[in-house]
Structure formats: structure tokens, C-alpha cells
């Protein structure tokens, strides 16, 4: 934080001096290990200690609806236009999340708390409504993905969804940010299951290289279905919860200005791994495009795995279904935590995964309630699960423009950012992303009104 920055709690009251808490002691131990490692110049060990928020936010965004969107993209259009487009969206995600890392490092405040402090209650509650609405919808689709994976393996929805809820709630019982983060990183490695599934689809390497190098023409022209998938793939990569989660995770982890290079590298590594998994999902589902599979008749992600089994084999389809389950599970943990951070910051309650349940009742309570709510919605009979999954990513894209505008205003606030404030190139990139997302939303709106 800059020397002249003065930040107040979200409720506008001065924070009274308090004795050291368990949260303070745990974070201090983590920082001591970082300082020792830095002094010993063990750079790989240092990166291992400081990595986490960036990789988690990128792989967490490779969630259930995102992987369904990528699978639908591959099954509908093959690997031409969308492969380079997906790389572009992850480049956009890195630009956005790098600003988020700098904001967290400079201010040591969560995103919701900063919006209340700098823009006032009206805009604070507006941003919270944007986040909560998007998060609840997205959380529902994460349990749809968990249910879809369970269906492929023959589990009843109540069993697979119930197991997903149990895992999410059990992760909150760890009461240690560092442990929670490492558990999620281990689970998030399951996102890479889509890569061997793609290899089992025996993709044409020359065609893939051609798609990456030439960026083919619009497949079928500017149709409504194409624009929906375009928006869904943007919403599969850049969403409001990512900003709130990573900034709060950076603060909870205790990153400082000295850790900024590792924070940026952590985010870049996460974007690269997530982009590879996303492209692999498109490639794995591309054989369905060649066979003109009836995608509109698919009910959930389980139908993709079932339809792919004759094409990529039992092993490939199993990996696909497991990857879908993992995607929903990891995202359910990160998105519910994102809501918890934001709610607790809004009401000036304590917010950290280092807290015990009594001290963090509002923080943990928000995650528990949102998780149970989302799981309950998924178990409603005959719900249009695939349509809901694709729609959520479209809605996330439409909600992104105001979230990005708040972020851009905050990283240009010299009082709180000091020398870490955005420069001309960062503002240009951020502005172009906002304009691009707004234009995509406008085109979607026109096509909805004038479908011909």
C-alpha cells in the first residue's frame, strides 16, 4: 500500500487495536518461511510457496459450464475458428487478473471492501448484487457438472450431488488457508485429464497447427448460435468472481510488493495450463462435429462423454467424465469462497480461511448456505440442465463489463496504488477488453431482437 493511502473498513469505522489472533499467527508463519526462502535465493521453492491464487483462479474458471461450453464448441464447429479465439480469451484473463494481483498487493484489501471504500455504498451494493447473482447461477452449474459426471458412472443425482456438497463443506473445515489452497491445487490438476482424452481423439496435428496459425473464417457466418457460443467461451474465461476471489486470496495469503513477480508468474502459469485444458476439451469433442451429432438433444455433460465413447474409447470417455466432475468440484469450492470473502468484506466481518468457525461464522456461513442452495436447485426434476449451463456463461459475460470498469478505476487510483497504478499500455488493454465484451453483448442483444 502506498504511504499516503488511507483505507477505512467498509462500514466507515476505525478498526480498534486487537491482540494477535490465530489468523495473524498462521499468516506470520507463512511469511517467515517466504522470507527465509527468499534470503536463501531458492527461487523455485519461493515460487512454490507463493503460487496458488493465480493457478486456482484460472483452473477454477475451467469449471463445469466452461468445459461444457468448450465441448459444445468442438462438437458444433470443430477446431477451426475457436482454438485461437480461446487463446485470446485466456490472454484477456491474464491481463485482468494481473491487475487484480497488483490491486491486492498494493492495498491488502479485498475487492468488495475496496469498492465500498472508494465508491460508496450504492456502487458497493451494486457490485455485490452483480457478483452474488452471477455466483449463485454459476454455483448451480458446478453441481450440474458434478451430477453429470456421476450419471456417466451410474450414480443417482442425489448421491453425486450429496458427495460434492460433502467435499465442499469438508474443505472449509481445514481452517488453514495454506492447506486449503494445496488441497485445491491437487484437485485442480484433474483439469489436465482432458488432455489425454484429446489425444485419444487422434486429432490431425496439421489441421490443429493450421487453426492456431491462420485463425479460420467465421463458421457458418454471424448466426445466433455462433454468437451464443462466442459469449459462452468468453464467459468461460473471464468472469466477475475471478476478480473478487484472487484479490481476496492474495490478501489471505499475505502477498507483498516483493512477491509481485511470483504473483504474476503464478497467474501466467495458471492461464497457460487452463488454456491447454480448454483447447483439449474442444479437440476431444471435435469428432462429434464430423459426425453431425445432435448436440441440441443433449441434456447434460454426461451426454458428451457417452456420445464420445465409440469415438475416443472407454478410457477417453471416462477421462472426459472425470474431468467434468473435477471441474465442477474445484469451481464449487472457489466460487463459494469468493462469495464468502465478498459478503464478509461488505459487512466488515472477519474473512479468512485461517479462522475458526466461531470467529468466521459469517464467512463460512455464506459458503455453506450458497452451496446447499445450489445443490438443491440441481436436484429439481426435469430442469433444462444443458441450456442452463450455456446460459450461465453468457450471463457471466454480460455481467463482466461493469466489474471490469470498477477494476480499471481502482488500479488507476494513485492514492491507493502508488507506483503500482496502471500505465498507458495496461489501460489500453483493459479498455479494449471492456469494449470488446460490451460489443459482443450488444451483438447478442441485436440477434435476440432480430434473429433473422
Indicate if the pLDDT at residue 13 is higher than 70.
no
Give me the pLDDT at residue 1, please.
40
Give me the pLDDT at residue 252, please.
87
Q: Is 213 exposed, middle or buried (0-12, 13-18, 19+ CB in 10 A)?
A: exposed
Give me the pLDDT at residue 271, please.
95
Q: How far apart are CA 93 and CA 96, in angstroms?
A: 5
- From the list 226, 173, 231, the residue with the least C-alpha distance to 400 is 231
Range of the domain at 383: 51-449
Is residue 237 located within the same domain as residue 366?
yes
> Quick check: 405 and 240 in contact, CB under 8 A?
no
Q: How far apart are CA 444 and CA 452, in angstroms?
A: 12
Which tens digit of pLDDT belongs to each residue from 271-322?
A: 999 999 999 999 998 888 877 777 766 656 678 888 888 888 999 999 998 9
Indicate if the pLDDT at residue 12 is higher than 50.
no
Query: For the chain, first and last CA: distance in Å?
Result: 53
What is the crossing angle of helices 260-290 and 53-61, to 10°?
20
Is residue 254 located within the same domain as residue 371?
yes
Give me the pLDDT at residue 10, please.
46
Return the higher-pLDDT residue of 128 and 21. Answer: 128
Encode 230-251: b = buried (16+ Cβ within 10 Å), e = exposed: bbbbbbbbbbbbbbbbbbbbbb
Is residue 431 located within the same domain as residue 395?
yes
Indicate if the pLDDT at residue 165 is higher than 90.
yes
Report residue 422: phi and psi, to 5°: -60, 145
Give me the pLDDT at residue 66, please.
85
| Arithmetic mean of pLDDT, 334-349 | 86
Indicate if the pLDDT at residue 408 is higher than 90.
yes
| Domain end point (choices 30, 50, 70) | 50
Indicate if the pLDDT at residue 375 is higher than 60.
yes
| Arithmetic mean of pLDDT, 349-353 | 83
Is residue 29 located within the same domain as residue 63?
no
Q: What is the pTM of this model?
A: 0.85
Is residue 40 located within the same domain as residue 75?
no
Confidence of residue 18 (pLDDT cuts 50, 70, 90): low
Give me the pLDDT at residue 196, please.
95
> Quick check: 217 and 81 in contact, CB under 8 A?
yes
Indicate if the pLDDT at residue 17 is higher than 60.
no
In a domain, 314, yes or no: yes
In a domain, 187, yes or no: yes
Highest mean pLDDT (candidates 15-19, 190-194, 206-210, 359-363): 190-194
Return the higher-pLDDT residue of 390 and 1. Answer: 390
Give me the pLDDT at residue 301, please.
62
Domain count along the chain: 2
Is residue 39 located within the same domain as residue 147?
no
In a domain, 15, yes or no: no
Give me the pLDDT at residue 2, please.
41
In a domain, 326, yes or no: yes
Q: Cα 182 to the chain's mean position, in Å?
A: 17
Give me the pLDDT at residue 386, please.
62
Is residue 30 located within the same domain as residue 118?
no
Is residue 28 located within the same domain as residue 141?
no
Is residue 31 located within the same domain as residue 75?
no
Q: How far apart are CA 180 and CA 171, in angstroms?
A: 6
Which tens digit of pLDDT belongs to each residue from 198-245?
A: 999 888 888 888 888 777 666 766 677 787 788 888 877 888 889 998
Q: What's the CATH number where 98 sits?
A: 1.20.1740.10
What is the residue-averaged pLDDT of the chain?
84
In a domain, 1, yes or no: no
| Arithmetic mean of pLDDT, 349-370 | 86
> Quick check: 301 and 149 in contact, CB under 8 A?
yes
> Quick check: 451 and 425 in contact, CB under 8 A?
no
Q: Kindly report the number of other CB atoms within 10 A of residue 419's CB atom.
A: 8
Indicate if the pLDDT at residue 349 is higher than 80.
yes
| Arithmetic mean of pLDDT, 37-50 | 88
In a domain, 102, yes or no: yes
Highest mean pLDDT (candidates 207-211, 384-388, 419-423): 419-423
Comparing 8-12, 105-109, 131-135, 384-388, the range with the smallest average pLDDT is 8-12
Is residue 31 located within the same domain as residue 124?
no
Indicate if the pLDDT at residue 153 is higher than 90.
no
| Arithmetic mean of pLDDT, 162-177 | 89
- From the list 171, 164, 137, 132, the residue with the least C-alpha distance to 149 is 164
Is residue 183 located within the same domain as residue 80?
yes
Is residue 135 located within the same domain as residue 236?
yes
Amino acid at each position: 500500500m502506498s504511504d499516503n493511502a488511507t483505507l477505512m473498513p467498509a462500514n466507515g469505522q476505525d478498526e480498534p487495536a486487537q491482540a494477535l489472533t490465530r489468523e495473524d499467527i498462521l499468516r506470520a508463519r507463512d511469511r517467515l518461511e517466504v522470507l527465509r526462502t527468499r534470503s536463501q535465493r531458492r527461487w523455485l521453492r519461493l515460487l512454490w510457496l507463493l503460487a496458488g491464487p493465480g493457478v486456482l483462479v484460472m483452473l477454477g474458471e475451467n469449471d463445469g459450464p466452461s468445459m461444457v461450453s468448450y465441448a459444445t464448441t468442438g462438437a458444433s464447429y470443430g477446431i477451426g475458428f475457436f482454438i485461437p479465439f480461446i487463446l485470446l480469451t485466456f490472454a484477456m484473463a491474464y491481463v485482468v487478473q494481473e491487475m487484480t494481483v497488483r490491486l491486492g498487493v498494493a492495498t491488502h484489501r479485498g475487492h468488495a471492501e475496496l469498492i465500498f471504500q472508494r465508491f460508496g455504498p450504492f456502487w458497493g451494493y451494486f457490485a455485490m448484487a452483480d457478483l452474488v447473482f452471477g455466483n449463485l447461477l454459476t454455483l448451480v452449474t458446478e453441481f450440474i457438472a458434478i451430477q453429470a459426471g456421476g450419471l456417466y458412472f451410474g450414480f443417482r443425482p442425489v448421491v453425486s450431488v450429496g458427495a460434492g456438497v460433502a467435499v465442499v463443506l469438508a474443505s472449509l473445515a481445514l481452517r488453514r488457508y495454506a492447506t486449503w489452497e494445496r488441497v485445491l491445487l491437487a484437485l485442480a490438476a484433474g483439469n489436465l485429464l482432458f488432455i489425454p482424452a484429446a489425444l485419444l481423439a487422434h486429432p490431425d496435428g496439421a489441421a490443429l497447427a493450421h487453426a492456431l496459425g491462420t485463425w479460420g473464417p467465421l463458421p457458418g457466418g454471424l448466426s445466433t448460435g455462433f454468437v451464443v457460443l462466442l459469449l459462452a467461451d468468453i464467459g468461460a474465461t473471464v468472469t466477475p468472481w475471478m476478480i473478487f476471489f484472487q484479490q481476496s486470496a492474495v490478501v489471505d495469503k499475505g502477498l507483498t510488493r516483493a512477491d509481485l513477480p511470483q504473483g504474476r508468474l503464478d497467474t501466467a502459469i495458471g492461464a497457460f495450463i487452463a488454456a491447454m485444458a480448454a483447447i483439449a476439451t474442444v479437440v476431444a469433442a471435435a469428432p462429434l462435429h464430423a459426425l453431425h451429432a445432435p448436440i441440441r438433444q443433449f441434456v447434460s455433460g454426461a451426454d458428451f462423454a457417452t456420445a464420445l465413447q465409440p469415438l475416443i474409447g472407454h478410457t477417453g470417455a471416462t477421462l472426459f467424465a472425470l474431468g467434468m466432475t473435477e471441474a465442477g468440484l474445484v469451481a464449487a469450492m472457489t466460487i463459494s469462497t469468493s462469495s464468502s470473502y465478498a459478503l464478509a468484506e461488505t459487512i466488515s466481518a472477519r474473512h479468512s480461511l485461517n479462522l475458526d468457525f466461531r470467529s468466521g461464522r459469517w464467512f463460512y456461513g455464506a459458503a455453506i448456505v450458497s452451496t446447499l442452495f445450489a445443490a438443491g436447485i440441481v436436484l429439481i426434476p426435469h430442469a433444462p440442465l444443458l441450456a442452463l449451463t450455456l446460459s450461465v456463461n453468457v450471463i457471466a459475460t454480460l455481467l463482466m463489463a461493469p466489474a471490469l470498469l470498477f477494476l480499471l478505476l481502482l488500479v488507476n487510483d494513485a492514492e491507493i496504488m502508488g507506483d503500482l497504478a496502471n500505465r498507458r499500455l495496461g489501460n489500453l488493454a483493459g479498455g479494449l477488453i471492456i469494449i470488446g465484451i460490451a460489443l459482443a453483448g450488444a451483438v447478442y442483444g441485436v440477434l435476440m431482437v432480430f434473429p433473422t
